[in-house]
């Protein structure tokens, strides 16, 4: 991957060198307690999104190869209790991954385009190509409707705003999880969690683990971060610490792009090749 020595990239290197912190493995009061798991009818579930307005879970199913345009991907709908309401709710995608909702639309990162689904109709209404993209991965949407999507293979973060796609960040190493909040923006890349500063540099909050994947805020300044090989961490941004809450690597269960229900403090974890979603209550917060 070719990178450019832009101020952003320089800021990322500086932050990584001066502000890095190592994951913490000590005991913590925060814990995950399993509540339920789905059956294994899902097909390589990569991302879960909890839609509080409709009280439903959306799951992106890759089914085929995660890097190939094969038309086998689809979106499932689950109940909050883990029952499969509609396995192939919306079909005809390629390798769908990150999900985000704004108003009545569900946005899906699908390799080289953003697919837009009308939730009420349960049908695709728009395909938004992202020029030069290779492996679009996670999606987040701010409160004004701007859609952000990471490209793990090209090291970029793109934004879709006012009908146009542009590049927000570049020169990153394996960017994946994104989180847009009203007063902050977070990026998972290079095994760590970063915050986007006003000058568009990235400040390293803490190292986490390899293959960082999903991120959800559980309290102001406190987050749950998943890492694809099978690890989930609690991150305290003010302390710059990452505490491991879950490790399913021995069971060969991946922990991909998580979802979160803030009212009930439930973390939803898609297990990728495990073909199921597992729900955990977050204790201690």
| φ, ψ of residue 281 in degrees (nearest 5) | -85, 135
pLDDT at 7 over 50: no
Sign of the CA dihedral running 43, 264, 266, 195:
positive
For residue 1, tell me if it sits in a domain. Answer: no
Domain assignment present for residue 119? The answer is yes
For the entire predicted model, the pTM comes to 0.90
Mean per-residue pLDDT for 233-248?
97
Give the phi and the psi of residue 18 in degrees, each rounded to 5.
-100, -25
**Does 103 fall in a domain?**
yes
Residues 10, 165, 181, CA angle at the centre, nearest 5°? 65
Mean pLDDT of the chain: 92
* pLDDT band for position 28 (cuts 50, 70, 90): low
* CATH number for position 159: 2.120.10.30
In a domain, 61, yes or no: yes
**Number of domains forming the structure of the chain:** 1
Furthest-apart CA atoms within the chain: distance in Å: 50
Bridging pattern class, strands 277-283 and 266-270:
antiparallel
In a domain, 104, yes or no: yes
Q: Is the residue at 121 inside a domain? A: yes
- Is residue 2 a part of any domain in this protein? no
**Residue 285 confidence (pLDDT):** 85
Query: What are the pLDDT digits (tens) for 107-132?
Result: 999 999 999 999 999 999 999 999 99
Domain region containing 179: 7-283
């Amino acid at each position: 991957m070719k990178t450019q020595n832009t101020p952003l990239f320089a800021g990322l290197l500086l932050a990584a060198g001066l502000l890095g912190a190592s994951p913490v493995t000590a005991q913590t009061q925060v814990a995950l307690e399993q509540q339920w798991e789905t059956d294994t009818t899902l097909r390589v579930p990569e991302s879960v999104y909890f839609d509080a307005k409709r009280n439903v879970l959306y799951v992106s199913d890759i089914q085929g190869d995660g890097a190939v345009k094969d038309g086998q991907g689809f979106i499932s709908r689950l109940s909050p209790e883990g029952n499969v309401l509609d396995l192939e709710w919306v079909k005809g995608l390629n390798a769908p991954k990150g999900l985000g909702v704004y108003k009545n639309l569900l946005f899906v990162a699908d390799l080289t385009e953003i697919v837009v689904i009308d939730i009420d109709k349960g049908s695709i209404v728009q395909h938004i190509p992202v020029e030069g993209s290779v492996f679009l991965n996670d999606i987040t949407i701010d409160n004004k409707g701007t859609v952000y999507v990471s490209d793990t293979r090209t090291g970029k973060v793109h934004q879709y705003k006012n009908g146009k796609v542009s590049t927000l960040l570049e020169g990153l190493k394996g960017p994946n999880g994104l989180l847009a909040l009203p007063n902050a923006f977070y990026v998972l890349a290079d095994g760590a969690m970063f915050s986007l500063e006003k000058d568009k540099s990235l400040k390293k909050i803490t190292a986490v683990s390899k293959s960082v994947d999903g991120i959800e805020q559980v309290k102001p300044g406190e987050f749950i971060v998943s890492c694809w090989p099978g690890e989930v961490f609690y991150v305290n941004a003010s302390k710059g610490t990452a505490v491991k809450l879950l490790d399913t690597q021995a069971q060969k269960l991946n922990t991909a792009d998580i979802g979160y229900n803030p009212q009930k403090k439930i973390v939803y974890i898609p297990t990728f090749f495990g073909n199921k979603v597992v729900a955990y209550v977050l204790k201690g917060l």
